[in-house]
Structures are given as structure tokens and as C-alpha cells.
Amino acid sequence: MALKQILLVNEDASLQPVLERHLGSQATVISIQNTIRARRKIGHQPFPLIIIEARKDWCKDIRRLHLLNGTAENATFLVAPSALLHQYGDCLKALSAAVLEKWANPPVSVKAPTAKILKDPVLDDFVERKLRDFVKNMKNSGVRDLYAMLLAEVERPLITHILKETNGNQIRAAQLLGMNRNTLRKKIKALKITIKRPTKLL
């Protein structure tokens, strides 16, 4: 059962059998050594507990796991050096039991996580997929000013959307965009963006 599985991200190969011995029949431990290629092994299932062996790039491991749809959704993360994970088996057992119990019996107001593909992918993952075909087509067409072209394509809809969200308030829009108000005015003029003012009620 997916909710009885714990994900271990580790380089120390001896960690998995140690955790399995501590946890017994409480949960299955799935071990991965490379979060970049993890999708093939773990699919889209969520894990209640993700244990990460603390090493040089453990922060990147967490970020990559969040890019894997569903895997880290509502998960509890435990990051610790290999030596501590070897030593404190009783603590791991207690923590795992608490996390698994929470997932099995969530509060009434909270839905239990399910193994599903998120409808809203992480932004950079979405952008990367959209850019792949676009760049390929542009490369075949012989375009040489791709950077400027992409900036122009993204800039106009972004500014237009921010202005809609702020009801045409350029001060608030400039703050959201992180630019000077005068710079925003120049861009609105250069990109020929029409600002729709909210209608006043009589």
C-alpha cells in the first residue's frame, strides 16, 4: 500500500537494511540514490515520510522531489547524517509510527493524500516543457535573436496580467514586478498595452 511506504534518499547503501530492521513490518523502505532519475522508480505516489541522508546537496534533493508530481505532497521530511540514522532506530520507529498514523487517520477537515498527478505542475517544470518544442522549432527556422524574442513574448502577457490583478494600479503593479514605476510606464507604452480601468458604480 502506497501510504505504508517510506522514501529514503541516500548514498550510504547500508542505511536501507538498517531502517528496514528498525521499522519491521511498520512500513516498506524505498531507497533512491539519484533524485534526478527517481521518477522511473517511484512514479507519482505520495510518501508520508521522506528521509534524506544529510550530505552536500541535500537541499537540491528536496527541491527535485517537489518537482516529482505527488511524491512530496504533504510529506514529513527528516534530514539527518548517516551516523545518526544508524544510531537512533527507536526515534525513527516512533516518528514513522506517528506520521503513518496521521496519514491513516487525518483530521476531519483534512483530506487524506492520494496518489495522483498534480494538475498544477511546478512553474519551472512547466516552462521547461513548453520551451523544449519552441526552441527546437526556432533553431530549425534559423532564428538568431531567440533571447530577445522570448523576453518579448513573456513580458507583454506578464505585465498585462499583473495590471489586471491590480486593477490598473501602476504603483502596485510596479511593486509586484519589482521595477521602477517609470520603467513600467515605458514598457506599457513600448509594448502597446491597454490598461482597462475598473468601471465606477453610479
Please provide the DSSP assignment of 24-81 as one string: TTS-EEEEES-STTHHHHHTT---SEEEEE--TTHHHHHHHHHHSTTTTTTPEEEEE-
3-state secondary structure of 109: coil
Distance separating alpha carbons of residues 66 and 100, to the nearest angstrom: 20
Which residue range forms the structural domain that includes residue 173? 123-190
pTM: 0.48
Q: Which residue type, as a one-letter code, is found at position 132?
A: R
Long-range CB contact pairs, 27-30, < 8 A, 24+: 27/96, 27/100, 28/4, 29/5, 30/5, 30/6
Residue 111, in any domain of the structure: no
Domain count, the chain: 2
Residue 76, in any domain of the structure: yes
Supply the CATH number for residue 9's domain: 3.40.50.2300
In the 8-state DSSP scheme, what is residue 191?
T
For β-strands 5-9 and 28-32, DSSP reports them as parallel
Residue 139 and residue 59 share a domain:
no
Q: Which residue type, as a one-letter code, is found at position 167?
A: N
Cβ count within 10 A of residue 200:
5
Residue 133, in any domain of the structure: yes
Residue 198, in any domain of the structure: no
Residue 89 and residue 130 share a domain:
no
User: pLDDT (tens digit, 0 to 9) for every residue of the chain, 202 residues total?
Assistant: 345 788 888 888 888 898 888 887 778 888 888 877 777 777 777 888 888 888 877 888 887 787 776 777 778 888 888 888 888 877 888 888 888 887 777 655 555 555 444 445 556 666 777 777 777 777 777 777 777 777 777 888 889 988 988 888 999 999 988 889 999 999 999 888 888 766 555 4
Supply the CATH number for residue 161's domain: 1.10.10.60
Residue 26 and residue 83 share a domain:
yes
Decide which of 69, 104, 139 is a domain's last residue. Answer: 104
